Amino acid sequence: MEKVMLTGDRPTGRLHLGHYVGSLKNRVQLQNSGEFDQVFIMIADQQALTDNADNPQKIRDHVAEVAMDYLAVGVDPSKATVFLQSDIPEIAELNMYFQNLVTVSRVQRNPTVKAEIQQKGFGESVPVGFFVYSISQAADILAFRGTHVPAGEDQKPLIEQANEIVATFGRYYDPNLFQPIELVLPPKGMERLVGIDGRGKMSKSLNNGIYLADDEDIIQKKVMKMYTDPNHINVADPGQVEGNVVFTYLDIFCPDKELVASLKAQYQAGGLGDVKLKRLLNDVLQEELRPIRQRRLEFAKDPAQVMKMLEEGGRRARQTAAVTLSQAKTSMGINYFNR
């Protein structure tokens, strides 16, 4: 069986540390592992439009930005096919057939979709396209017969629903065309990186992120206003480590685990100030993000070249999706002219 990795991002903004630890790092590692027959990375511009229909410019503006973020973290176009969702009409056609395999109540029950409808304040006025994006996302993956999706924890319910589509398609038409999809989660603690405000996951829409393109000054400012323990007022006071964003980030990014453990003990006992900790975290994050930013600046010099990569990727991706669509129609018995 072919091993095919597929993953993507919505071009609703530049990519941040949450994307980096929750998905990008993993996908670059998988891309370089040599374990996969094919690697696809999709910029989901159509999905982004489902809740930004009134602002296509925002989506358009972020396509090249996201592509540059990819290149900066090590996505390699000689190993991965990077493309735009809107460039592959076969996905939309497959989505149409998949919509017949899913009920309204199933879509409504999807916890990720439910939470997002609430978070965006849509209520009953949710756009139909957004409401059914869980189905189109299954088409995104299955158009390439994807078997592995490296992503954060929020994607679990979406992969579950996609696997139900695989099963129903198998029962109705052909059990061999699509294989079950495996969600490849990042290492523990990184499935859902908290935002700098400590309130929810780091997210483009919540404005609580540190971006891969942020410069040194901005990173430092963001670290300095990071949420810690609100009751830790004087340096001498004992402080709380749980829910303290600075420690969450040190746990993830600081390579010196012994140092972090001893700082935690000091903080809990009292006598360690937030500013000192934040300075350390700032150093750690600057170290991690500097090479990424520098690579990004190189690619940013030539945006036309970046768009060319997407155009070329689209050409290749479309060939694969066309074969899948043809096979899907054959198994449904509606490929009348064998195209």
Binding site for ligand ATP (CB under 6 A): 9-10, 12, 18-19, 22-23, 151-152, 154-155, 192-193, 201-205
Please choose, from the candidates 82, 144, 38, the residue with its C-alpha nearest in 3D space to the C-alpha of residue 305. 82
CB of 24 vs ligand ATP, minimal distance in Å? 8
Using the minimum distance from each CB to ligand ATP, give the nearer residue, 100 or 119.
119
Strands 4-9 and 81-84, bridge-based pairing: unpaired
Using the minimum distance from each CB to ligand ATP, give the nearer residue, 9 or 65.
9
Using the minimum distance from each CB to ligand ATP, give the nearer residue, 12 or 248.
12
CA angle 120, 121, 124 (to 5 degrees): 120
Q: How many CB atoms lie within 10 A of CB 2?
A: 10
Radius of gyration of the chain (CA): 22
Using the minimum distance from each CB to ligand ATP, give the nearer residue, 148 or 329.
148
Using the minimum distance from each CB to ligand ATP, give the nearer residue, 205 or 262.
205
| Cα separation, 218 vs 248, whole angstroms | 20
- The residues, ordered by sequence, that sit 6+ positions from 30 with a Cβ below 8 Å of its Cβ are 5, 36, 39, 148, 150, 184
CB of 124 vs ligand ATP, minimal distance in Å? 21
| Cα separation, 235 vs 229, whole angstroms | 12
Using the minimum distance from each CB to ligand ATP, give the nearer residue, 193 or 328.
193
Both structure tokens of 9: 């991002």
CB of 322 vs ligand ATP, minimal distance in Å? 26
Both structure tokens of 63: 């396509």
Using the minimum distance from each CB to ligand ATP, give the nearer residue, 152 or 314.
152
CB of 209 vs ligand ATP, minimal distance in Å? 7
CB of 217 vs ligand ATP, minimal distance in Å? 23
Residue nearest to ligand ATP according to CB distances in the complex: 22
Q: Measured on CA atoms in the order 190, 194, 200, 204, is the torsion positive or negative?
A: negative
Using the minimum distance from each CB to ligand ATP, give the nearer residue, 19 or 145.
19
DSSP letter assigned to residue 204: G
| Cα separation, 32 vs 89, whole angstroms | 29
Is residue 336 classed as helix, strand or coil in its secondary structure? coil
CB of 205 vs ligand ATP, minimal distance in Å? 3
CB of 194 vs ligand ATP, minimal distance in Å? 7
CA angle 244, 248, 253 (to 5 degrees): 145
CB of 309 vs ligand ATP, minimal distance in Å? 19
Using the minimum distance from each CB to ligand ATP, give the nearer residue, 134 or 331.
134
CB of 238 vs ligand ATP, minimal distance in Å? 29
What phi-psi label fits residue 74: left (phi over 0), alpha (psi between -120 and 50 degrees) or beta? left
CB 294 within 8 A of CB 68: no
| Cα separation, 269 vs 182, whole angstroms | 44
DSSP letter assigned to residue 11: S
